[in-house]
Amino acid sequence: MISKAGNALNGHLDHRNPLVFDTRELGRRPGALKRLSRSVEAPGSPVLGIDGVIGVPEGAPLELDLRLESVMEGVLVTGTARATAEGECVRCLEPLTVEVDADFQEMFSYPDADDRGRPADPADDAEDDEDRFFLEDGLFDLESVLRDAVVLALPMQPVCKETCAGLCSECGIRLDENPGHHHDAVDIRWAALQGLAETVQDGEKDNMGGAEPGVDEKQEK
């Protein structure tokens, strides 16, 4: 697995990528601020969302509103992503859509500065960089941050409506469309006893139709 730091430092970001943003206008002057909006197509492979459950289809419109702020250690990015996700109801399996409104905030650090804004110590543990994002020649890639934010904003178990009754476990029919639907179920624990009771009843009927025990013997005597 490639670290976030590795992606930023060795990925050679392409400014033509719609999810790559340029911060060079801010310079390194703390307090400098830039706001921007951008409409892009949702990335794919994997889907932007929860794979196999719900997500924003590849190529679907994705609206971004960003606030870029220069700070001592890098650029603080705060934003909102809006899109429409598609999936299916976990109860009735019908298709559904969900409006996504995902908020996020992430620090993109200068490669040559630590968290205090001073030149980084080469002896620092490299593992500390695993969870950090870095600027590359003033550019940053928002895709990883965006994916995390969208996943958190989506329902883990989407439903078409809160009152969805789901499907019949016996035949699979949609219960919302057939509210009176039911099956007569027999508890298997009582099935054997029911059969025994019927056998006893049949035996009693046979006895009632014949002579009483001992009658034939008396007549013979």
Tell the burial category of 81 from Cβ atoms under 10 Å away from its Cβ (0-12, 13-18, 19+): buried
Mean pLDDT computed over 14-34: 92
Report the C-alpha gap between 167 and 170 in whole angstroms: 9
> How many Å apart are CA 177 and CA 167, to the nearest integer?
10
Q: What is the pLDDT of residue 138?
A: 93
Residue 165: how many CB atoms within 10 A of its CB? 15
| Radius of gyration from C-alpha coordinates of the chain | 35
Partners of residue 167 on adjacent β-strands: 174
Question: Which of the four pLDDT bands, split at 50, 70 and 90, describes residue 5?
Answer: very low
pLDDT for the residue numbered 49:
94
**62-71 CB burial, b ≥16 within 10 A, e <16:** bebebebbbb
Closest CA to 21 of 81, 71, 67, 82: 67
Chain centre distance of CA 155: 6
Written as six digits, the tokens of 143 are 């895709």
Contact between 200 and 188 (Cβ < 8 Å): no
Cα 151 to Cα 167: distance, rounded to the nearest angstrom: 27
Highest mean pLDDT among 9-23, 80-94, 121-135: 80-94
Say which residues have a Cβ less than 8 Å from residue 3's Cβ, sequence separation at least 6.
Answer: 129, 130
User: Of 147, 140, 65, nearest to 110 (Cα)?
Assistant: 140
Question: pLDDT: is 189 or 59 the higher one?
Answer: 59
pLDDT tens digits, residue range 64-83? 999 999 999 999 999 999 99
| 166 alpha carbon, distance to own chain's centre | 19
End-to-end CA distance of the chain: 102
- pLDDT, position 3: 39
Higher pLDDT, 90 or 213: 90
**How far is Cα 149 from Cα 151, in angstroms, rounded to an integer?**
6
Q: Which two tokens stand for residue 120?
A: 């980084």
Q: Which residue has the higher pLDDT, 204 or 95?
A: 95
SS3 call for 51? coil
Q: How far apart are CA 197 and CA 174, in angstroms?
A: 37
- How does pLDDT run across 15-24, given as a tens digit for each residue? 899 999 999 9
pLDDT given at position 83: 97
pTM of the model: 0.70
pLDDT band at 27 (very low <50, low <70, confident <90, very high): confident
